[in-house]
Amino acid sequence: MKLSSANINVIVAIARKAAKTLIRDFGEIEKLQVSLKGPGDFVTVSDKRVEKILIDGLQKARPSYSILSEEIGLIKNDEEFKWIIDPIDGTANFLHGIPHFAISIGLEKNKEIICGIIYDPIKDEMFVAEKGNGSYLNNQRIRVSARSQLKNCMIVTGGPKRESKNRETVFQEYKKFSSKVDIPIRKMGSAALDMAYVAAGRYDGFWQRNLNYWDIAAGIILVREAGGFVTDFMGNDKYVDNKTILVTNSKINEAMIEVLNN
């Protein structure tokens, strides 16, 4: 079985089209690593180029919908429907020639994410979800893991940035989780893929501060439709407002909340 609604078909096709440019650009990164100028400017151009392909495609397919994108900001149209897009989630990985990044597209209806995709173009892994219809990876149904003991779980996080005001808080959270789990905590550099991997049962839990809406929008529906939980650090649904997000399977949510608040 696969998801094939009109909106899903639109975003899958547009993501695959944009991915061709992204894969080509990624192939140029290695050459730029040794140049005096470096790849930074090139990545910025690539990010905007991919964004333009996504926005052009979405506007053609759904001209009345609003769009919120990392680079360009808000294109305000219809108040009911809004695309939330991140052209390259995992930009630092892309910049350094590390093949772990994704295109992320979510669709919001009346401020609720109703469908979304996270596409890893290098591994050709398309994570897709739609409200009420489940989550899929390359047309195969996915579910969150069933691990219930935090010590046996694989936990992932990200950050903090150098200029982050809560660097020490993040380090303390990292230390607390490190003392609770047997497997070292992962830091992979793409929040969208971290959430997709929780949805697929590869990771059991993910926490992070200071993420933007476009980093997490598509992941929200993926995790929920795969049977997982998406909350803030207190277990509430204020993760966009307070920029603290906790993503888990259905069995360790309370345990992770306890760690974060003790």
**Tens-place pLDDT, residues 222-259:** 999 999 999 999 999 999 899 999 999 999 999 999 99
Residue 3: pLDDT band by 50, 70, 90 thresholds? confident
Residue 45: pLDDT band by 50, 70, 90 thresholds? confident
In a shared domain, residues 186 and 131: no
- Residue 210 in this model has a pLDDT that exceeds 90: yes
Please give the average per-residue pLDDT across 162-186, as a whole number.
93
**Domain count within the chain:** 2
- Residue 34 in this model has a pLDDT that exceeds 50: no
In a shared domain, residues 48 and 175: no
- Residue 46 in this model has a pLDDT that exceeds 60: yes
In a shared domain, residues 80 and 33: yes
Number of other residues whose CB lies within 10 A of the CB of residue 175: 10
Q: How far apart are CA 212 and CA 226, in angstroms?
A: 22
Enumerate residues 6+ apart whose C-beta is below 8 A from 47. Answer: 70, 71, 87, 88, 91
Residue 154 within a domain = yes
- Residue 8 in this model has a pLDDT that exceeds 60: yes
Amino acid at 237: D
Residue 36: pLDDT band by 50, 70, 90 thresholds? very low
In a shared domain, residues 124 and 35: yes
Q: Do residues 53 and 14 make contact, with C-beta atoms less than 8 angstroms apart?
A: yes
Global pTM value: 0.94
Residue 1 within a domain = no
Q: How far apart are CA 189 and CA 95, in angstroms?
A: 12
Residue 36 within a domain = yes
Q: How far apart are CA 173 and CA 68, in angstroms?
A: 31
Residue 111: pLDDT band by 50, 70, 90 thresholds? very high
- Residue 80 in this model has a pLDDT that exceeds 60: yes
Q: How far apart are CA 184 and CA 170, in angstroms?
A: 16
Residue with the larger pLDDT of the pair 30 and 64: 64
Distance of CA 136 to the CA centre of its chain: 15
| pLDDT at 165 (0 to 100) | 86
Residue 162 within a domain = yes
Amino acid at 188: M
| Domain enclosing residue 12, as ranges | 6-141
Please give the average per-residue pLDDT across 25-48, as a whole number.
68
In a shared domain, residues 72 and 116: yes
Give the whole-number percent of the chain exceeding pLDDT 90. Answer: 80
| pLDDT at 104 (0 to 100) | 98
In a shared domain, residues 52 and 90: yes
Q: Name the token pair of 159.
A: 């950050």
Residue 41 within a domain = yes
